[in-house]
Structure 1
Amino acid sequence: MMSLLNHTTIFSTTAGLKLPLRFDLLKKSKHIKFQISCSNSYITPNKFKRQYTSVLIVPTGVGASIGGYAGDALPVARTLASVADCVISHPNVLNAAMLYWPMENVLYVEGYALDRFAEDLWALQPVHHNKVGLVLDAGIEEELRIRHLQVVDATRASLGLPVVDYIITDTPLEVEKWIDPKSSQATGRIKHPDSLLRAVHALSDRSMVDAVAVVARFPDDDIEDVDDYRQGKGIDLLAGVEAIISHLVVKNFRIPCAHAPALLPPPLTKSLCPKSAAEELGYTFLPCVLAGLASAPQYLTDNSELQKSGCIVASDVDSVIIPADACGGDAVLAFANKRIKPLIICVQENETVLNDTPDKLGIDVVKVSNYWEAIGVVAAHKAGVDPNSLRRDGIKNITSTTSLLSFNNCVASSSRTFV
């Protein structure tokens, strides 16, 4: 009892929990203070509103000013994820070589699958985790292969990632890459795609993996060829054929896939753009790929599965954010042609080598200068607020789209009032 008299005791409770029955007596003591706090974990979500879903796209291998380098669009994804309830994006946005950022409300969706999702052909099924398998190109030298396997073990031991098996292709894939002279985009091919498909098939049969990471040996460039990229200029020469590799696997096996190139480390440079620096940190680009695939959603591709409870379909998407000159991709065109369209937001600051503008394609969009504004538009849209009402003189006088109203198949003057 002496300790009660000599010390002030603080009782804390959370909203929704019952206090002791003798609270009315205890609160009269000058030695006892009560602190009432509320926790978000006890607040019931608004069950009358569905989740707000936004799609963030930065096309691969097109020299995007933001997102065309080593995961430099990841800060955009992190910020958008703090506003939207669900963000759907793809490896080019979320991968940063040795770096990545776990976000529970961000879905890691490969580009081919994202296009099919937007076209209402596939749905996304969120998961708790995936069993991940690894395919290594037979063309990777022994020391470089060991480095990649050590990275796998590190992610298993330090991050607990469920990477369960690996396989080496029966033939070197022989990757080739180049810049398309017509479009100025990065592209390329693998000479032995069947070897890759056989490896994925064998891995799937042997270990029943849910997702696949592919590591192909890429040709080492002369340093002059990649100097612009390291300085934050030009195009990522690897990105185009990386997309071709992951598209091939996803198209044939309909499971999540992402690619990491195997390269020898470049010589040290003191002059390096921060946007490209993530690729200078280690021997491989694999950690971000494994982290993304470990929780990537599964793809539902049968018509009978598309309405499965808990899956996400294209009609759930509320907004799409895209560089202003990159509106010609399959996903954006599919969203733009829907009867009930999501809000399409074009970011003019994020320039690419493309010229697929909304005006050229006849797409109705909201144009913004930068990603600050884009995420502000998303916040307003989620709140049910016309984004124009946040601008000076953004709201004009309301006008009528027609001077006549049709009512019960009769034409009447628009001045007539119907109750």
Structure 2
Amino acid sequence: MTSLNLGTPFHSSAGRRLRRLPEKPASRLAISCSSSLLSNKFKRAYTSVMIVPTGVGAAIGGYAGDALPVARALASVVDCLISHPNVLNAAMLYWPMPNVLYVEGYALDRFAEGLWALQPVHQNKVGLVLDAGIEEELRIRHLQVDATRASLGLPIVEYTVTDAALQVEKWIDPKSGQSTGRIQRPDSLLRAVETLVERSGVNAIAVVARFPDDDTDDDVENYRQGKGVDLLAGVEAVISHLVVQKFGIPCAHAPALLPFSLSPSLCPKSAAEEIGYTFLPCVLAGLSTAPQYLVQNFNSLGKDCMLASDVDSVILPIDACGGDGALAFASRKTTGFPML
């Protein structure tokens, strides 16, 4: 703050005559600056990473966007927060945060290892891939998310349908207790993505695969009551990893499911997945401004690109620290780097 001491009295120009104040000796112009108002351009941004591994039954982040309030709180106290779809997606719900980077899990691991950099963007061109195994009515329901383009102005460029059903399989790993799975036709998925990239120039991909309705009643009810493990999340990560590893662009997945029977008592942590026909809105919102991934030419990176060395702290569940990203951050040589 600048203060000026001119050393002379102030006289009113009003009609009434004011008594003249005693004059003080004139002093030199004094200027002082308050450091508290200096521009932040002289300070490096504080960057934090929030990781909640997918499909492990985390008490916070193991359900339908229930880690999002934590991410919002963190985003309010850091300059930049980097996180992934398992934290930021909440089916029909999402929360826009301009200082949060939406990074797919495989890309986040490569970033943590120092192999990839993150390039913030103004806006991506998003393409949508639909599984050929989705029934017609359910497919139409998912295409109605074109409302995100009309109402939110999201840059959804084009969609395509795979040339074969992806045939998703899911299960719980008996050793780790983590949900996982596979798709029988990864070739069909990758061809569909390639078509969108080459034909329409998209640089972010949303995938909707038809998931089997083979969960037991107990599994479904446990999840709806905020217990157990998200049976879908593990193979969702497998699907997005395939795309990111092959094409090096942002990707996120939303499952296509038949609606569950109505339940009058749902755990709020799971309820976001039951207020609509599709989980796509949060995925499209996240991908629209997700950072691009830079794999080469680190020496020519712009000033706004982010490297693992820019990260100041990592937040993750206390008993879920064995993932590639967490281990990579933990192995950094930087002293005083907190893992919280």
TM-score scaled by length of structure 2: 0.88
Judged with a 3 Å threshold, the aligned counterparts in structure 2 of structure 1 residues 336 and 342 are, in CA distance, closer, same or farther, namely farther
Q: CA deviation at 1:344?
A: 3.1
Provide the C-alpha distance between the structure 2 equivalents of 1:158 and 1:143, rounded to a whole number of angstroms: 23
TM-aligned CA deviation for residue 327 of structure 1: 1.0
Q: CA deviation at 1:226?
A: 1.0
Secondary structure at the counterpart of residue 338 of structure 2: strand
- Mark the runs of 5 or more structure 1 residues left unpaired by the alignment: 1-14, 17-23, 31-42, 347-419
- CA distance in structure 1 between the aligned counterparts of 2:232 and 2:297, rounded to whole angstroms: 35
| Structure 2 runs not aligned, ≥5 long | 3-9, 17-36
1:315 pairs, out of 309, 316, 332, with 309
Partner in structure 2 of residue 168 of structure 1 = 161
Partners of 1:304 and 1:50 in 2: how far apart? 19
> Contact 1:165/1:203 (CA < 8 Å) preserved in 2?
yes
Mapped partners of 1:324, 1:233: distance in 2: 19
Q: Which residue of 1 aligns with 2:212?
A: 219
- The residue number in structure 2 matching 1:114 is 108
1:135 and 1:253 mapped to 2: Cα distance?
A: 14
Equivalent in the alignment of 2:126: 132
Q: Secondary structure at the match of 2:40?
A: coil
Q: Distance in 1 between matches of 2:181 and 2:298?
A: 36
1:190 to 183, 191, 210: 183
Give the deviation of 1:78 after TM superposition: 0.4
* Match 1:83 to one of 77, 82, 87: 77
- Show the counterpart of 1:53: 47
Residues 341 and 184 of structure 1: CA distance in aligned 2, closer, same or farther (over 3 Å): farther
Distance in 2, matches of 1:344 and 1:212, equals 33
Q: Quick one: which amino acid aligns to residue 191 of structure 1?
A: Q
Q: Which moved more, 1:336-345 or 1:141-150?
A: 336-345
Q: How far does residue 45 in structure 1 lie from its aligned partner after superposition?
A: 2.8
> 1:55-94 deviations in whole A, cap 9, x for unaligned?
0000000000000000000000000000000000000000
The answer to whether the Cα contact below 8 Å between 2:330 and 2:339 also exists between their aligned partners in 1 is: no
For residues 160 and 207 of structure 1, the distance between their equivalents in structure 2, rounded to whole angstroms, comes to 18
Q: Give the AA of the match of 2:108.
A: L
CA–CA separation in structure 2 for the residues paired with 1:103 and 1:275: 20
Deviations 1:331-350, CA, capped at 9 Å, x for gaps: 1111111111563334xxxx
Q: Tell me how many residue pairs correspond in the alignment.
A: 312
CA contact (8 A) 1:98 1:288 kept: yes
Aligned-residue offset at 1:316? 0.2
Aligned-residue Cα RMSD (Å) equals 1.9
Q: What is the alpha-carbon distance in structure 2 between the residues aligned to residue 218 and residue 54 of structure 1?
A: 34
1:343 has 2:333 as partner: no
> Aligned runs of 1:223-372 on 2, under 5 Å?
223-304=217-298, 307-340=301-334, 343-346=337-340
Aligned CA distance change for structure 1 residues 305 and 198 (closer, same or farther; 3 Å): farther
CA distance in 2, matches of 1:284, 1:268: 16
For residue 313 of structure 2, give the secondary structure of its aligned residue in structure 1: strand
Q: Secondary structure at the match of 2:160?
A: strand
Distance in 2, matches of 1:306 and 1:181, equals 46
- Report the AA paired with residue 332 of structure 1: A
The equivalent position to 2:149 in structure 1, one of 140, 153, 156, is 156
- For residues 292 and 247 of structure 1, the distance between their equivalents in structure 2, rounded to whole angstroms, comes to 16
Between the aligned partners of 1:342 and 1:112, the Cα distance in structure 2 is 26
Amino acid at match of 2:217: I
Q: AA paired with 2:204?
A: A
CA gap of 1:307–1:228, structure 2 versus 1, over 3 A, is same
Q: Secondary structure at the match of 1:213?
A: strand
* 1:210 CA displacement: 1.0
Kindly indicate whether residue 36 of structure 2 is the aligned counterpart of residue 66 of structure 1.
no
Greater shift in the superposed pair: 136-145 or 330-339 = 330-339
- Corresponding residue of 2:197: 204
CA distance in 1, matches of 2:301, 2:273: 40
- Contact 1:66/1:72 (CA < 8 Å) preserved in 2? yes
Conservation of the 8 A alpha-carbon contact between 1:140 and 1:216: yes
TM-score with structure 1 setting the length: 0.72
SS of residue in 2 equivalent to 1:225: helix
The superposition leaves residues 19-63 of structure 1 with CA deviations (integer Å, 9 ceiling, x where unpaired) of: xxxxx7889699xxxxxxxxxxxx653233100000000000000
Percent identity reads 74
Amino acid at match of 2:141: R
- Listed one character per residue, the Cα deviations across residues 336-378 of structure 1 (whole Å, up to 9, x for unaligned) are 11111563334xxxxxxxxxxxxxxxxxxxxxxxxxxxxxxxx
Matched, 1:145 2:155: no
Whole-angstrom CA distance in 2 between matches of 1:215 and 1:336: 34
Q: Residue 159 of structure 2 aligns to a residue in which SS? A: strand
1:306 and 1:252 map into 2 onto residues whose CA distance is 23
SS at match of 1:265: coil
Per-residue deviation, 1:270:
1.1
Q: What SS does the corresponding residue of 1:339 show, helix, strand or coil?
A: coil
User: Separation in 2 of the partners of 1:118 and 1:249?
Assistant: 19
Q: How far apart, CA to CA, are the structure 1 residues paired with 2:304 and 2:315?
A: 24
Say which structure, 1 or 2, has more relative contact order (CA 8 Å, 6+ apart).
Answer: 2
* Deviation beyond 2 Å, 4+ runs, structure 1: 24-30, 43-48, 221-225, 303-309, 341-346
What whole-Å deviation, never above 9, does each CA across 1:391-413 have from its counterpart, x for those lacking one? Answer: xxxxxxxxxxxxxxxxxxxxxxx
The aligned amino acid for 1:296 is: A
Which protein is richer in strand relative to its size?
A: 1
SS in 1 for 2:254: strand
